[in-house]
Amino acid sequence: MDKLLLVDDEADVRYSFERIFSDAVDLHTAASGEEALEVIPQIQPDLVIMDIRMGGLNGIETLRKIREFDTKLPVILMTAFGTTQTAIQAMKHGAYDYLLKPFDVPKLQAIVDGALKAARDMKQKVSYEPLLESEDYDLGIIGRSAPMQEVFKTIGQLAGTNATALITGESGTGKELVARAIYHHSNRSEQPFIAVNCAAIPENLLESELFGHEKGAFTGASTQRIGKFEQCAGGTIFLDEIGDMTLPTQTKILRVLQDGIFERVGGNESVQVDVRLIAATNKPLEEAVEQKDFREDLFYRLNVVRVALPPLRDRSEDIPLLVDYFLQKFSENELSTVHPEAMTLLKNHNWPGNVRELENAIRRALVMAKTGAIQPGTLPPEITQPDTPVATEESSDDLSSLARKLFQWARANPDLRVIPAVERELIINALRETGGNQVQAAKLLGITRATLRKRIEKFNIKQELSVG
């Protein structure tokens, strides 16, 4: 349970807080700033809420002393005598927020919840428990094939350094697991590890998410927010799908790598930070560099050591090991087995979704299995009824036929720029298919989100759907 320390010399206020928060947090109280300074090292609270006007040390002075030994502890100051000067002083000395008495209880609860979440994020660490007794299963990265042995060697070489690493591979190959393994074996393993999926965060929020923002930086920025880089000070940050990052954000990432400094959104003060960066992408960044969608200098900064993860289809000998691992992980029946015919189907499948697809297939099979054995019939249809060569050939013929029709169309309409016209229609259809989601549409088209945005502007495509 989160620990909250209330510092106020009024007994009525302390009683009110006990009534409001006693069931939600582990509440501690202090009647003065001096008492607060004594108990903070003892109880190590996650959040301090403190009155400004108190006998002895006032709230501002107490906050200043707290910052001498703890720079990240969230402190909310409150007063019944609010002035511009006190508000400025409160935020200047690193207060998380500033409240006026009497306060609205729902608003107070919302601010406290937000501050406690920020505190948890700042202290976020990855907890590693042995998954199985076998070291082969350590951290969930399974494989004895030659390609995976090369991956393990590279992880070992990276673990003893602070070098930046770039992990490449198709979706579902386990890029985050590799990042966590590098972290786990590094000299930063006792420090925070934070993973950020750049493609899952709307582009207008990504910079704030990574670097934080100052109060008033934009509409809705009611408090200062500490970003992931600051939360991760001394540790390792993993930026997944970095190829979807916008050029302005790429510039700030480059500066962090070069100089170890950044500014929060809306701020002018430089923040110094020591963070190891591991990046990952499922897209060819070299192509993105050529298309000017990704900064060349950032690419070379990231590509110090590359870890190339093989697709599952290129290491089919690892499939039985992975199946065994997922059985032990998900099966409620210790005797769960796989019928030989089912295993043959699993080994022969192409696995476009890689290890993640295999994991989902085993989980589904365990749900569908009426006995302890996974039978062919319990596997997903795409595994038991794979596409035939005839179907593939037909698909090829269809593509050739379509190309011929387009060429004839172009010949009949010499004034028409056929390739841009087709490209525009493909983009429109991809946006419709994904409900306007640019991230998903870009993935369908096999291009970066930045390239898609350029094409939308180039072709003057009007979007009425969500672009999240």
Look at residue 394 in the predicted model and tell me its pLDDT: 39
How far is residue 390 from each of residues 385, 394, 397, measured CA to CA in Å? 13, 6, 10
Across the range 216-240, mean pLDDT stands at: 86
Q: Is 101 left (phi over 0), alpha (psi -120 to 50) or beta?
A: beta
Same domain, 294 and 410: no
Across the range 357-369, mean pLDDT stands at: 88
Extract the tokens encoding 379: 């596997």
The length of the chain, given as a count of residues: 468
Same domain, 259 and 346: no
**Does a structural domain hold residue 378?**
yes
- The winner for highest mean pLDDT among 21-25, 44-48, 453-457 is 44-48
Lowest mean pLDDT among 47-56, 66-75, 289-298, 365-374: 365-374
Look at residue 404 in the predicted model and tell me its pLDDT: 67
Which residue has better confidence, 129 or 226? 226
Lowest mean pLDDT among 1-15, 136-150, 176-190, 344-358: 136-150
**Does a structural domain hold residue 229?**
yes
Percent with pLDDT over 90 in the chain: 33
CATH number at residue 69: 3.40.50.2300
In the chain, the number of structural domains is 4
Lowest mean pLDDT among 110-114, 247-251, 437-441: 437-441
CB 33 within 8 A of CB 10: no
How far is residue 193 from each of residues 27, 176, 278, measured CA to CA in Å? 28, 11, 10
Same domain, 167 and 277: yes
Across the range 433-457, mean pLDDT stands at: 83
**Does a structural domain hold residue 466?**
no
* Residue 441 predicted with pLDDT over 70: yes
Look at residue 122 in the predicted model and tell me its pLDDT: 59
Same domain, 353 and 379: yes
* pTM metric for this prediction: 0.56
* Residue 341 predicted with pLDDT over 50: yes
3-state secondary structure of 446: coil
Across the range 109-128, mean pLDDT stands at: 68
**Does a structural domain hold residue 114?**
yes
Same domain, 249 and 320: no
Look at residue 398 in the predicted model and tell me its pLDDT: 58
Across the range 63-89, mean pLDDT stands at: 77
Domain boundary among 260, 282, 308: 308
**Does a structural domain hold residue 134?**
no
Question: What does DSSP say about strands 373-374 and 276-281: parallel, antiparallel, or unpaired?
Answer: unpaired
Domain boundary among 360, 384, 408: 384
- For residue 183, how many other CB atoms are within 10 A of its CB? 25
Q: Is 260 left (phi over 0), alpha (psi -120 to 50) or beta?
A: left
Residues with Cβ within 8 Å of residue 264, at least 6 apart in sequence: 211, 212, 213, 214, 217, 224, 225, 227, 271
**Does a structural domain hold residue 132?**
no
Across the range 237-261, mean pLDDT stands at: 92
Mean of all residue pLDDT scores within the chain: 82
* Residue 221 predicted with pLDDT over 50: yes
* Residue 235 predicted with pLDDT over 90: yes
CATH number at residue 284: 3.40.50.300
Look at residue 199 in the predicted model and tell me its pLDDT: 85
Same domain, 273 and 183: yes
CATH number at residue 367: 1.10.8.60
Look at residue 29 in the predicted model and tell me its pLDDT: 92
Same domain, 89 and 165: no
Look at residue 124 in the predicted model and tell me its pLDDT: 46
Q: What's the pLDDT band for 358 if we cut at 50, 70, 90?
A: very high
CB 168 within 8 A of CB 307: yes
Q: What's the pLDDT band for 94 if we cut at 50, 70, 90?
A: confident
**Does a structural domain hold residue 206?**
yes
Domain boundary among 308, 338, 355: 308
Same domain, 194 and 262: yes
**Does a structural domain hold residue 416?**
yes
Same domain, 280 and 158: yes
Q: What's the pLDDT band for 393 if we cut at 50, 70, 90?
A: very low
Same domain, 152 and 300: yes
Same domain, 169 and 102: no
Which residue has better confidence, 90 or 398? 90
Same domain, 204 and 256: yes
Which residue has better confidence, 267 or 358? 358
Residue 227 sits in which domain range? Answer: 148-308
